Amino acid sequence: MHDFVMPSDAKPSGEIHPLVQRLSNEFSYPRLATLEAVADFTAQEGVHCLFVPGDSKRNLETPDAAVVLPELRMAFQNLFDCAVIDDAIEAELRQQTRALKTPGFLFYRDGVYLGAIEKIRDWDDYIARTSHILDLKG
């Protein structure tokens, strides 16, 4: 379920789009800035979705994905919790998971990486891909 591309060498702008910031401010999604924080968050019991926003200055899909994620979580009746990945570790996490395109949703269950949904999709595609990922045993 990956679309493979080589990662960009361009440095991120460091600016956080207001719709991405809203995920932390309004929905209380933690912002994970270290790989240790990612490991701690995803090791908790249950299913977790990490939002890898990418640089909103270069990727015009980032704000759209920031709006989709809370809606997707609600569609699955809060079956998974969410966090936002800080740009300081984004590239390394994308390499680890081979989910190289942004924006991306990375899914984990009990510390095990399950899969990713990369780039903006049609709503039906989000539902189908998320259902498939959540059905995986890891």
Domains (ranges, CATH) in the chain? 18-135 (3.40.30.10)
Mean pLDDT of 78-93: 96
State yes or no: pLDDT of 2 exceeds 80. no
Q: From the DSSP assignment, how many helices (H) and strands (E) are in the chain? A: 5, 5
Q: Cα 41 to chain center, whole Å?
A: 13
Section 39-51 average pLDDT: 98
- Strand 112-118 relative to strand 104-109, pairing: antiparallel
Of the candidate ranges 1-15, 58-72, 119-133, the one whose mean pLDDT is the lowest: 1-15
Percent helix, strand and coil across the chain, each to the nearest 5:
40, 20, 40
Rounded percentage of the chain residues whose pLDDT exceeds 90 = 83
Mean local confidence (pLDDT), 14-38: 94
CB count in 10 Å sphere of residue 121: 17
Q: Name the one residue in this structure whose structure tokens are 């908790």.
A: 44
What one-character-per-residue DSSP string does 20-84 give? Answer: HHHHHHTT-PPEE-SHHHHHHHHHSSSEEEEEE---TTT-TTHHHHHHHHHHHHHHTTT-EEEEE
- What pTM does this model have? 0.88
For residue 39, is pLDDT > 80?
yes
Three-class SS state of 137: coil
